[in-house]
Structure formats: structure tokens, C-alpha cells
Chains A and B, each alone.
Chain A
Amino acid sequence: VGKVVLGFLLLYFGFGDTVPIGPRSLEAVVLVALAIPFGTLVLTFPLTERLLAPIVERVSLAAIGRRIEIPGRGLSLRGRLVAFALTFALGPTLYLSSVAYMNDARAAQRDLEHRAQLAAAGVALGNRGAARAVDGWAFTFDAGAANLQGAEAVRALGERPALARAFERAAAASPRGAVSHPRDGVVAFRTHGDRRIGIVIPGAPQVTSGTVLLILLFLAIIAGFGPLSAMFIAGSTAVPMARVSEALARVGDGEVETAPLVPVFHQDEVGVLAKKYNAMLDQLREISRRANEVARGALDVELGVPGELGDAFRAQLASLRDIVGHIARSAAQLAGAAGELYAAAQEQEQTAHQQSVGIEEVSRTMASLLVAATHVTESTTGVLIRAERTRETTTHTAERITELSAHTGRIGEILEIIREIADRSDLLALNASLEGTRAGEAGRGFALIAGEMRKLAERVTASVEDIKELVGDVRASVSATVIATEESSKLADGTAESAANINLVTQQQRSGTEQAGQSIRDVVSMITQSLAATQEIRTLAEALKAQADNLTGLVARFRLPEQRPERRPEAGA
């Protein structure tokens, strides 16, 4: 819509008055039609460029920020400059050409009207050939453009109704005048007396060939010289720009050392750009070299590049020095700690191994102790059983001995009775012996028998005494046996109780030994696990120490400023 409005504005201001466009005005229309887009581009480009610039900038920055590459390839700078040149040259040129063309056409139309009026005046004065002199036909008419006379003219107007209608309106409005039509031609009329005379000249006014040639020549010059000039200008600008662009592309690809310097041909913006590029390339090369030196471990380099990049590099270098220093100290501490850890782990492993051996020995001892405790438990159980039997036997023996003691007591009583009987027998025998003796010879045999009886009684008494002595010995033995049996019973009780206690203790000991054995086995398992863990720790400590040594070696590749060798004063200095 804007373009259409602008086109009308251009037409309006470009063509000051209304110009009838005839067949010969087609070229002008074409020129204007061509001028409109060019002129529109010329007029709207700064505006659209200015309006779209912030949007394009934001879009471009957003795409860069999001790492989005805008697809497609635009025109080269040279193409753009040629397009700009053609646009800026052809637009006004076409417009001015169309204006000139149209002005020339308008002038031709006025000339034709003037010739038609002169011919009408000539016809009114009686010059019949005046109409043919201007390639027209004369005619007469009445008021109101009626009753036209003149066959050729009537036929010409009849064939051109638009021109005829314009003529009728003009003739009705004015006694003299001229009307024209871009395609049909010109009608001039005037009143001469009571007659009204008109001249019709069919055909459109003609633009002069000089104008056409001039326009064509000018267009050819503009169309040829403009791009050439644009190409020249673009060449003088785009070539350094292209070289800078190519060099920047190589810099962008990381080829800082191989990126070429750009020669400076002019001291214009491109030259300044080239200078800045060269300066930037120098700084990048210095930064690259310093970075390579840093990569080789030289942290004592100094960078003379000013600006944020240099400051960032120096800050990074300072941070790297600090980090490397810290890493070096940490690596040294880590190596020391790893060594101590390795030694401690090794010592702990040896200790754990010794503990394992000792605990295994203890475990075997505990196993033997468990077997021994089992045997002891079985033995104490047997002892307990035998002690119980011994106590029962002792009790039985004590009962038997008590019975024996009672029997011996009874034997003593019986012996006492026997002794009394023997004693009485002895007395009876003695008295019988006495009686026999008193009886004289008659009692001699009786006395002898009494004596034998007394001897027998004496022997009985002696035997009784012996038996009593033996019984006394037996009773003493029995008493001693009873005492011994009581002692034995007490001992058996004590033995049984002790055996029971021993059995209980040995069972507890066996249980404790089993628990201790289990605990020892658990300890063995734990020590084995601890040994494995210690071995793993030792392996890890060894690996850590190796890593620490490796780290120390890696850090040693960096040369810090305090490690920089002192520069010897130059000779003669």
C-alpha cells in the first residue's frame, strides 16, 4: 500500500499537470513503472534499514548467544554495492527519464494543439490547405457541436468518440479552444463570424527521437557506469574486507600463527580495520605463544598485551600459578601423606599378619583346648559318676562296717559271757580240784579231771582274751575304718561335689571355650578381613603415592616465577 501511495505521489509531483497518455506515452509509463520499485527501494531502504536494524541486531545477538547459525548465504559486498548502485542510479534515472519523456510528449501535444489552432485560423481566413499542412481535416459545425460538415473530419471524429465528446464539451463551453486526446489526436476550433471552424488532427503527439535517444543513452550510461563504479568501489573496499574476512576466518578456525597480515592500502575505515586486524593478530599471536609456553609449563611468562583479553590472560595465568603452586604443595603433602599411609598400611599389614598368625595359633590352641575341655568334661563326668558310686559304696561300706561294729560288740558281749563261763569253769575246776584233793586217793582222778577242766577253762579264758584282743583290734580297726569310711564318705561327698562343680565348671569352661573359639574364629575372620582391607589400603596407598609422585612430576613441569633462574648480569654490565 505504501509503495502504491508513494508511486502516486511520485507521479503527481513528477508530472505537474495532467498529461494525456497516448500510444506514444507507453514508454514513459514503462519508465515510470520501472522507476517506482527502484525509487521505492531507494526511499524505503534507509527507513526499513533503520527500523529493522534493532530487530536484526537482537535476532543476530540472540542467534549468536544460542549458538544458532543463520542458514543461507547473502549477497556479497560487491553484489550488494552493485545492487545498491543500480538501485540508486536507475531509480532516479528512470524517473527523470520518464519525466523528460512525458514533458517532451506534453510539449509535442501542445505543439500539436497550437498547430491545430493555427490551421483553424488559417481555414477561417480561407486557407483551405492549412488543414492538410498539419495532416488534418477541417470541418464546420454549428453551436452545440452539431451539424458537422467535412467528411474526412466527421469520419475521423466518428472513429474517435472520446475525442468527439471532449470536442463537444469544449465547443459548448467556449467559442474557441482546443482539446486533445493522448491516443486520438487534437481538435482545435474557433468561431469566425457565424461560422465555427474546427480542425481535427488524428494521431498521438510524437516524442522526439532525440529525447528517446538521449534517455536511452543516459540509461545505458547509468546502467553501465553505475555497476562499474560500484564494482570499482566495491573492489577497493571489498577486497581488503575480503582479505580481512578470510584472515579472520582463519583466525576463527584457530590458525592464528598462519593467518596472514592484511596490507593497508588506504587510511580509510577499511585501512583502520586492517590495522586493527593486524594489531589484533599480533596480540593473538603473542597470547598464543605465551599460551604455548604456559602449556609447556612456563608459568613465569609475562604478557604485554593490554586490554581485557590480556588482563584475562594474566588473571588466568596468575590463577594458574596459584593453582599450580597449591597443587605442587598439595602434591608434596599428598606424596608425604601417601608415603606415611603406605608405611603405616605396610606396618599395619605386618602387624595384622602377625596378629593373624598369633590368632590362628590361639585358634588352634583354643581348638585343642576345646578338645581338652571336652575330654576334661567327659573325664569329670566319669569322675562324677565314679565319685557318686564311690559315695554310694562308701555309704554302703560304712553301713556294713557299722553292722560289723555292732557284730563285734555282740561278739565282745558273747566273749565276756564265755569268759565268765570260763572263769566260773575255772573256779569250778579249782574247787573240784580242791574237793578231789580232799577226797584223797578216791578223788585223785576227779582232781585230775578238774585240773584238765581248769586248764581247758584257762585256755578258753586265754582264747577269749585273745579273741577279745582280736575283737578289740577288729573294733579298733572297725572304728578306724568307720572313721576312715566317714572320712572317705566325706571325701567321696566332697569328691562328688567337687566333681560336680568341676563338671559344671568344665562344662562352663567348654561352653566358654566354644564361645571363645567362636569369638577367636570371628576375630580371625575380622583380622582376615582387616588384613585384606589393609592390603587394599596399602595397594591404594601405593597407587596414591604413585599418583602423588606422578602429580609431583607433572607439577614439576611447570616453572613458577620463584623458580625462574636468575639472569646473570651481562658481561661488562
Chain B
Amino acid sequence: VTALVMPVQLASVWIALDAMHVQEVLGRRPWVALPDAPAHVPGVVPWRGRAIAVLDLGALLDVAPALRPGEIRPRLLVVQVDQTAFAIPAQAAREVHAAAGIEEAHATHVRLAQGQVTIGGVVMPVVSLPVAYAAVARPEAGGA
């Protein structure tokens, strides 16, 4: 199976995201923390005239510390799943790669990872954004 993935760095861990869900990569962009927000959706960020939720994917995948209010990361990936756009703060992002073979999910210890792929000699788990979104939207559906 060939998939188009975009490597994204969360803290020190590179993960591969489905490139087709990524709408835009932004630079440093301040976000607004929301009181009483869910743990992995701490706030919102303006994007194209509307406010989209900020998804703390690192904390969700348990590969990076939780995003603190006011903390700005170098990259802000705007993704869309099921007509829902949300922003994922990340350390870095790479161009889209075509992953020739995605290994089995048990090959990685990352939460919500569906497999792993090797890009540029780096083995990185492949995380499905719909799964992650579902885990956030329906915490029980995440299987966490």
C-alpha cells in the first residue's frame, strides 16, 4: 500500500500523518486558550476567518508534554477531518513522502499509531488523523 504521509515532529518524536488531511502548514501562530477546554483541545486559533480547535496531538499520542497556554510551536498544521478543521502544533514538518509500505501497527509503541514507516532512515509511526480526531471527539472510541 502506498500512502502519502507528511512527517511531523512532536517534541522529539517524528510521526507520519496522512498528507491528504493536511490543509495548510502555518508558521508560528498564537492560539487562544479556552477555559474548561478538553485536555487535548486546549484552545482555538484563527484560520481563514474562522476559529479552529487546537489539537494537542503530542499529548494525545503521549509523545510530548502537554501544550501550555501561550506556548507557541514553530509549525501549526491545519488538518481537516470530516469537514472539521483543527490545528496541530508541531516542532517541524517535512514535505510529503510517498510511503511504499506501512508496517503493522504493533510495530510501534505510539498510541493511536496504525503502523510505521521509514522515511529518510527514520522510523516513524503512522498516525491516522481521523482516529486521532475520533479519539478526541469520542474518547471511548479511541480505545485509550
Q: CB-CB < 8 A to A438: which residues of B?
A: 20
Q: CB-CB < 8 A to B142: which residues of A?
A: none
Bound state CA distance, A543 and B117, in angstroms? 129
The contact string, 1 if C-beta is below 8 Å from chain B, for chain A 441-476, is 000000100110011000000000000000000000
CB distance from A482 to the nearest CB of B (A): 33
Nearest opposing residue in chain B for A444, CB measure: B98
The contact string, 1 if C-beta is below 8 Å from chain A, for chain B 12-26, is 000000011011111
The yes or no answer to A430 lying at the interface (CB within 8 A) is yes
B contacts with A, residue count (CB < 8 A)? 16
Bound state CA distance, A438 and B24, in angstroms? 11
Interface secondary structure of A, over-half rule: helix
The yes or no answer to A433 lying at the interface (CB within 8 A) is yes
Nearest opposing residue in chain B for A424, CB measure: B27
The 6 closest A-B CB pairs, nearest first, are A451-B95, A433-B95, A430-B25, A437-B96, A433-B96, A454-B95
Q: CB-CB < 8 A to B20: which residues of A?
A: 437-438
Is the Cβ of B27 less than 8 Å from the Cβ of A427?
yes
Bound state CA distance, A429 and B25, in angstroms? 10
Bound state CA distance, A450 and B95, in angstroms? 8
CB distance from A426 to the nearest CB of B (A): 8
The contact string, 1 if C-beta is below 8 Å from chain B, for chain A 532-557, is 00000000000000000000000000
Residue among B4, B20, B74, B95 with max Cβ neighbours from chain A (10 Å): B95
The yes or no answer to B138 lying at the interface (CB within 8 A) is no
The yes or no answer to A286 lying at the interface (CB within 8 A) is no
Q: CB-CB < 8 A to B74: which residues of A?
A: 423
- Supplied contacts A430-B94, A434-B25, 19 more A-B pairs, CB within 8 Å: A423-B27, A423-B74, A424-B27, A427-B25, A427-B26, A427-B75, A430-B25, A431-B25, A433-B6, A434-B19, A434-B22, A434-B24, A436-B96, A438-B20, A447-B95, A447-B96, A450-B95, A454-B94, A455-B95
- A to B CB contacts below 8 Å, 29 in the list: A423-B27, A423-B74, A424-B27, A427-B25, A427-B27, A427-B75, A429-B95, A430-B6, A430-B93, A430-B94, A430-B95, A431-B24, A431-B25, A433-B6, A434-B6, A434-B19, A434-B22, A434-B24, A434-B25, A436-B96, A437-B4, A437-B19, A438-B20, A447-B95, A450-B95, A451-B95, A451-B96, A454-B94, A455-B95
Q: CB-CB < 8 A to A423: which residues of B?
A: 27, 74
Nearest opposing residue in chain B for A451, CB measure: B95
Bound state CA distance, A533 and B41, in angstroms? 116
Q: CB-CB < 8 A to A429: which residues of B?
A: 95
Q: CB-CB < 8 A to A455: which residues of B?
A: 95
Q: CB-CB < 8 A to A447: which residues of B?
A: 95-96
Q: CB-CB < 8 A to B94: which residues of A?
A: 430, 454
Q: CB-CB < 8 A to A434: which residues of B?
A: 6, 19, 22-25, 96
Q: CB-CB < 8 A to A454: which residues of B?
A: 94-95
Bound state CA distance, A437 and B96, in angstroms? 7
Bound state CA distance, A424 and B95, in angstroms? 14
Bound state CA distance, A455 and B4, in angstroms? 18
CB distance from B7 to the nearest CB of A (A): 11
Residue among B20, B27, B75, B96 with max Cβ neighbours from chain A (10 Å): B96
The contact string, 1 if C-beta is below 8 Å from chain B, for chain A 406-438, is 000000000000000001100101110110111
Bound state CA distance, A430 and B23, in angstroms? 11
The contact string, 1 if C-beta is below 8 Å from chain B, for chain A 192-234, is 0000000000000000000000000000000000000000000
Bound state CA distance, A423 and B75, in angstroms? 10
CB distance from A444 to the nearest CB of B (A): 9
Q: CB-CB < 8 A to A450: which residues of B?
A: 95
Q: Which of A147-174 contact B (CB under 8 A)?
A: none
CB distance from B79 to the nearest CB of A (A): 11
Nearest opposing residue in chain B for A430, CB measure: B25
Q: CB-CB < 8 A to B95: which residues of A?
A: 429-430, 433, 447, 450-451, 454-455
Residue among A429, A433, A438, A454 with max Cβ neighbours from chain B (10 Å): A433
Nearest opposing residue in chain B for A423, CB measure: B27
Nearest opposing residue in chain A for B93, CB measure: A430
Bound state CA distance, A431 and B96, in angstroms? 10
